[in-house]
Amino acid sequence: MAIQWFPGHMHLTRKAIAERIKDIDVVIELLDARLPGSSANPMLAELTKGKPALKVLNKQDLADPERTALWLAHYNAQEGVRAIPLDASNTAPAKALIAACHELAPNRRGLAKPMRVLICGIPNVGKSTLINTLKGKRAAKTGDEAGVTKMEQRITIADDFYLYDTPGVLWPKIIVAKTGYNLAASGAVGRNAFDEEEVALEMLDYLRQSYAPLLEARYKLQGVASMTDEQLLDALGRKRGALQSGGKVNLQKAAEIAIMDFRANSLGRITLETPSEFAQWLAEGQQLDAERQLRKEALAEAKLIRVKKKPAPKV
């Protein structure tokens, strides 16, 4: 099942960012350090193209530090991009963002040329927590569900430093299947947009190959690496008491336990992808999407389906 979630307010956010970006000096994109590639929004990259970009790997205290180092190197190697790790609840590193923005746009200082920063990212990535840390009070609403912020907010960090907070936004079409699963596991996707059991199985299949010792320690299991994802879900369900009448495992409850354990960092410091893995997933997703488009065009040419025509560009 392909996971997609793009409710109406996200469409409005896209339009608002397209308008706001004209007056922005630096763009901060918060990424989830546990899934940096999956949480990097390609739509935002297109909307903010040409602006100095600061990639912030947030929740770095929850992520695998070795893999965080790989991702930082990956982003810092890109032209016009700087990347730093961050725990949004830590005051000192959060304030370092202000200095980083001035490095990216050194001419924006003073009341005549105030710094104008757009902060954006996927839902539930920690933007509001970071803003409140920068401001020193509750300037933005926070929550543990996707979609808490619904409208743009301008926040004055200093007399010459304005921060524009936008609602968390995904993108209309997720072509990398693993991205959808990782976003769902992290809490970036609305609850009604995915099946918990399917997401848990995908996550456990990855974790049993990359983090078997952590799973064994958490659920008091042995031989996790040799299990299938279905066997692992069943085993952890038994260990955690997710049973129904007759001693059968309630797979829905077991899936919810696995996902919540990941979100709560109960499994340990985990990152669900490396730069090389994500590059492979992206290439495969792009190939499949191109093939789907070719099939669609062939059917349209044969007049077996009707394709909506794009409006002519305004002159």
Contacts of 208 (CB under 8 A, 6+ apart): 215, 224, 225, 227, 229, 232
For position 246, what pLDDT does the model report?
A: 87
Interval 117-161: pLDDT, tens: 999 999 889 888 888 888 776 555 544 444 444 456 888 888 899
Position 243 pLDDT exceeds 70 = yes
Q: Is 59 helix (H, G, I), strand (E, B) or coil?
A: coil
DSSP, residue by residue, the chain = -------HHHHHHHHHHHHHGGG-SEEEEEEETTSTTTTS-HHHHHHTTTS-EEEEEE-TTTS-HHHHHHHHHHHHTSTTEEEEEE-TT-HHHHHHHHHHHHHHSTT--TTTS-EEEEEEESTTSSHHHHHHHHHTS--S---SSTT---S-EEEEEETTEEEEE------S----HHHHHHHHHHT-S-GGGS-HHHHHHHHHHHHHHH-HHHHHHHHT-S-GGGS-HHHHHHHHHHHTT-B-GGG-B-HHHHHHHHHHHHHTTTT-S--S--HHHHHHHHHHHHHHHHHHHHHHHHHHHTTSS--PPPPPPP-
Q: What percent of the chain has pLDDT over 90?
A: 57
Give the pTM: 0.85
What number of other Cβ atoms are within 10 A of residue 263's Cβ? 16
For position 142, what pLDDT does the model report?
A: 46
Q: Determine the average pLDDT of the residues in 14-29.
A: 89
Helix axes 212-219, 229-239, angle to 10 degrees: 30
For position 309, what pLDDT does the model report?
A: 57
For position 69, what pLDDT does the model report?
A: 98
At residue 155, φ and ψ (nearest 5 deg) are: -125, 130
| Distances, alpha carbon 115 to alpha carbons 2, 75, 104, 110, in Å | 40, 23, 11, 8
More reliable by pLDDT, 14 or 221: 221
For position 145, what pLDDT does the model report?
A: 44
For position 2, what pLDDT does the model report?
A: 66
Interval 31-76: pLDDT, tens: 999 999 999 998 888 888 889 999 999 999 999 999 999 999 999 9
Tell me what the pLDDT averaged over the chain comes to.
Answer: 87
For position 143, what pLDDT does the model report?
A: 45
Question: What domains lie within the chain, and their CATH numbers?
Answer: 8-165 (3.40.50.300), 195-263 (1.10.1580.10)
Is the Cβ–Cβ distance between 120 and 106 less than 8 Å? no
